[in-house]
Amino acid sequence: MQSSDFIRLQTSQPVRWQAVITSDKTTVTNQVLTETQWSGNLVSPTGDAITLTATQVSDPSKVFTLKIAVAPQRYNGVAYKVGEVATFAETQVRFNGTTTTENLAYTIASVSNGRPMITSADAITNAPDTSYVQDLDRNRLSRTYTNGNVCTYSPKRTLYELPLYIGKTWTGAWDYACQMGYTEKGAVVGKVETYESITTPAGTFNAMRLAFTITYSNSNDTQLPNGAAGNATYKETILGWWAPDLGRVVKWQSNYSYATGFANPTYMTTYTQTLTSLR
């Protein structure tokens, strides 16, 4: 059965019920428990194997056992809220060992045809930063830099394929092109690894841990090997923690790898993003 499905068992004689639930994350909601009825919605973020036993009160030798396999809960998105502000601490580490951290506030400025415009600004000075357009699943469609350079992802940067559930895998590919000339291709392999608790300065959240591998190719970044010919490649491996109740990632860790021997001191090796507040 699917997680959140309703199940009802009834008996003609009084029984004693016993439920053995394997996962400590599984809950039974809307439960009714009497001597002749056991019912409720089985909600399991991770999936579960449940054994339900009914022993007849008048004759304990008569026992009924039911084994229930519950599929992992499927999580869809959460509607965008105009005016919502999510602030993240974002840290970059570069080849030369330099570490920089900035606090950026991302505001849902508007939603048009299901596509939100998200603006970002320095959380302390309010200096504007990059703005973004996303789809309903929070996949990026475009980004606009403060210098007016607009870059698009065609058809979209497919980091999320909803619904999300434990064990799900997916792939996606896009072309990235900027008005000022930069281009590259991206190809992602994504997987929902597990469901776990994650703590950030904004609080502790139940989250799905997502793993991504993104391979970038056909980059014309002239600082990268083969970039002048438009054939540079590099890779990004990511862990992200997506909180179903919020419908968003609350923590993000990226590691970048480049061609053998490349070590430009200004290029990033790691990037982390951690939610510090949501209002």
Rounded Cα distance between 127 and 20, Å, is 55
Give per-residue pLDDT as tens, 103-134: 999 999 999 988 999 999 999 999 999 999 99
Buried b or exposed e, range 148-183, using 16+ CB within 10 angstroms: eeebbbeebbbbbbbebbbebebebebebebeeeee
User: Are 51 and 38 in contact, with CB atoms under 8 Å apart?
Assistant: no
Give per-residue pLDDT as tens, 216-264: 999 999 999 999 999 999 999 999 999 999 999 999 999 999 999 999 9
Give per-residue pLDDT as tens, 145-197: 999 999 999 999 999 999 999 999 999 999 999 999 999 999 999 999 999 99
SS3 38: strand
**Residue 117: closest CA among 104, 99, 130:** 130
Place 101 in a pLDDT band, splitting at 50, 70 and 90. very high
**Residue 194 β-bridge partners:** 209
SS3 228: coil
Give per-residue pLDDT as tens, 62-84: 999 999 999 999 999 999 999 99
Mean pLDDT within 32-58? 97
**For the chain, percent of residues with pLDDT exceeding 70:** 100
Mean pLDDT within 270-279? 98
pLDDT of residue 166: 97
Strands across the sheet with 37-43, in order?
6-10, 37-43, 27-33
pLDDT of residue 110: 97
pLDDT of residue 114: 86
- Residue-averaged pLDDT of the chain: 97
Kindly give, in sequence order, each residue whose CB lies less than 8 Å from that of residue 30, ignoring residues fewer than 6 positions away. Answer: 6, 39, 40, 41
Rounded Cα distance between 148 and 105, Å, is 19
**Residue 182 β-bridge partners:** none
